[in-house]
Amino acid sequence: EAGVVQSPRYKIIEKKQPVAFWCNPISGHNTLYWYLQNLGQGPELLIRYENEEAVDDSQLPKDRFSAERLKGVDSTLKIQPAELGDSAVYLCASSLSTEYNEQFFGPGTRLTVL
């Protein structure tokens, strides 16, 4: 079974530029998550999707971050414009909608903003 796929794995941009991350969840997983992980910290939830619907985006900085999950499968997370403080690893995870909520993580995209 293929795992969660993310691209790119690494991205270096200058501040004020836009950037986008892509995620393909495990087939059949209707719940998709985007997390931000700073160095030495645990993942922090940015947004959670149930199929196409964003059910929890309370932690997403909506002035510069946006996300979409068209057709309830792949998802894209965008930052525009990027700031120096956005440098982090962006993780995507997916799960089946069960009470156990076991989440499978992708390898992440390491973003460096110069």
Q: Which residues bind other proteins (CB under 8 A)?
A: 4, 40-45, 48, 56, 91, 97, 99-108
- Is the Cβ–Cβ distance between 36 and 105 less than 8 Å? no
Please identify, using beta-carbon distances, which residue of 14 and 44 lies nearer to other proteins.
44
- Closest distance between other proteins and the C-beta of residue 16, in Å? 28
- Is the Cβ–Cβ distance between 110 and 11 less than 8 Å? yes
- Closest distance between other proteins and the C-beta of residue 3, in Å? 8
Q: How far, in Å, CA of 7 to CA of 75, rounded?
A: 11
Which two tokens mark 21? 């991350």
Please identify, using beta-carbon distances, which residue of 7 and 103 lies nearer to other proteins.
103
